């Protein structure tokens, strides 16, 4: 099975409005509730692709109960197994407001509940147990209050000690410390990579991030696709044309594809093609953690992959 970790889970609310106008009242035309947080989105996509997936992290309060009920009700593909650790504080909410006129999305994210030392200890014990049956693990998203900034580095070391390949998808100081623990793969976006390396030139920054400890680095370039620095070489993959829609969760779908390629043993160009196609197909879906299957199958053979001239 594939294990995903979401320390800052969320109940995702998506509101659709005809047009989002500042300082105005709005009539919402559609409301969608989904279990959220980056690792849960990754797990739901993996399940839809047919992979056995387990989620862990934290859930608490009424919003946590709703999140778990929605997760249990997920019907697409393989069911996702819930190994979330109960906490006293309420799970946060995130709100995505989709402007139907422009296709743009405005995101509002609550910070998350404070995690007590005993709750963190309970989680690390559960995580260590789950590693025994995992083929790969993804550590995803922000850290809730109360968890030390080196938490992901600690979890990377536990995964490496268990011999389980680990992907890290976070930002800021947790990324800086986590990458030094030598994860198998990190997947920052261009802004997160610039904060980590101090360079805004993607090719230089991606290779610099790899030198900091990651076995491989895949950088999200937004509508321009993905850039990967790996032991086998440097590749860039892009969709045939930019797609418009809700970008929430697009990066999580890319992570799902990269994890699937890792456990299936596919080559890097194939992994990147699936990651870009799945990410674009997610933009065309109304909510995170889901993708347009027809668009995915249509886009996949049209993904352009090349080795940048700067690879030398």
The residue to which tokens 């409005």 are assigned:
17
Could you confirm whether 267 is annotated as catalytic?
A: no
At residue 150, the 3 state secondary structure works out as coil
Residue 117 CA to residue 132 CA, distance in Å, equals: 24
Contact between 54 and 130 under an 8 Å Cβ cutoff? The reply is: yes
Residue 25 CB contacts under 8 Å (≥ 6 apart), including other chains = none
Residue 246 CA to residue 251 CA, distance in Å, equals: 12
**Cα 227 to Cα 153, 170, 186, 294, 299, distances in angstroms:** 24, 17, 12, 25, 18
Contact between 55 and 4 under an 8 Å Cβ cutoff? The reply is: yes
Residue 120 CB contacts under 8 Å (≥ 6 apart), including other chains = 146, 147, 151
Return the bridge partners of 87, or none.
Answer: 60
First to last CA, the chain: 37
From 252, 264, 267, 292, active-site residue: 252
Residues making up the chain, counted from first to last: 312
Specify burial of residue 48 (Cβ count, 10 A radius: 0-12, 13-18, 19+): buried
Q: Which residues are catalytic?
A: 252
């Amino acid at each position: 099975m594939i294990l995903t970790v979401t320390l800052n889970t969320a109940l995702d609310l998506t509101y659709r409005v005809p047009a989002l106008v500042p300082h105005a009242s709005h009539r919402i035309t559609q409301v969608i509730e989904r279990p959220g947080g980056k690792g849960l989105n990754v797990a739901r996509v993996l399940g839809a692709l047919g992979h056995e997936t387990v989620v862990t992290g934290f859930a608490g309060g009424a919003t946590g109960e709703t999140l778990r009920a929605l997760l249990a009700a997920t019907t697409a593909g393989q069911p996702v197994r819930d190994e979330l650790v109960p906490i006293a504080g309420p799970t946060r909410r995130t709100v995505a407001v989709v402007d139907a006129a422009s296709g743009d999305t405005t995101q509002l994210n609550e910070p998350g509940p404070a995690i007590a030392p005993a709750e963190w200890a309970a989680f690390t014990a559960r995580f260590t147990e789950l590693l025994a049956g995992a083929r790969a693990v993804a550590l995803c998203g922000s850290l809730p209050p109360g968890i030390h900034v080196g938490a992901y580095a600690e979890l990377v070391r536990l995964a490496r000690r268990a011999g389980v390949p680990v992907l890290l998808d976070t930002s800021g100081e947790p990324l800086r410390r986590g990458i030094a623990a030598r994860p198998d793969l990190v997947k920052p976006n261009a802004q997160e990579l610039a904060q980590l390396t101090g360079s805004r030139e993607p090719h230089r920054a991606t290779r610099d991030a790899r030198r900091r400890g990651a076995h491989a680095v895949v950088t999200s370039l937004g509508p321009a696709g993905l850039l990967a620095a790996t032991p086998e070489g440097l590749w860039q993959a892009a969709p045939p044309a930019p797609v418009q829609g809700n970008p929430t969760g697009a990066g999580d779908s890319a992570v799902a594809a990269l994890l699937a390629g890792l456990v299936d043993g596919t080559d890097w160009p194939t992994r990147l093609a699936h990651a870009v196609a799945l990410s674009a197909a997610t933009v065309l879906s109304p909510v995170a953690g889901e993708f347009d299957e027809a668009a995915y199958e249509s886009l996949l053979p049209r993904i352009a992959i090349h080795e940048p001239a700067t690879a030398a």
